[in-house]
Amino acid sequence: MGSLGIRNGAMPDCQSIHLNALDSADLSRLRAILNVICSEAGEPLRGAAMQKIAVLLIGLYRHGVTDHDKLLSVARLALTQNTPDVAAAVISGAGRPEGGMAGS
């Protein structure tokens, strides 16, 4: 099995690629979003709130939500709501054809 989870010569779909380890480009994209949130909120990068946001962003990215603006919006919402329900709602919408949030 290759690094992208390819079995029997089948090509992986876009979403399955994100279920594997993130590469440095993926992490850089997510770090840029987290840096914006840290700056806006005046929170330290290593603070508890930002750690929760980082986990949320990684989870969403792995579920196929890769749009910068959507990830930024969800991170802002999660910071203000401070609830795991935001992540669950967004992840449930990640399977939509546009790969976005529920209701978008």
Q: Over the stretch 85-104, which tens digit does the pLDDT of each residue have?
A: 555 555 555 544 444 444 43
The two tokens of residue 87 are 């992540």
Q: Are 60 and 74 in contact (CB under 8 A)?
A: yes
pLDDT tens digits along 44-62: 999 988 999 999 999 999 9
Mean pLDDT of 50-79: 92
Give 21's pLDDT tier (boundaries 50, 70, 90): confident
- Of 22 and 20, more confident: 22
Residue 39 to residue 45: CA distance in whole angstroms: 9
Q: Could you count the other beta carbons within 10 Å of the beta carbon of residue 16?
A: 14
Per-residue pLDDT at 20: 64
CA trace torsion 51, 56, 61, 64 (10° rounding): 170
Q: Are 5 and 21 in contact (CB under 8 A)?
A: no
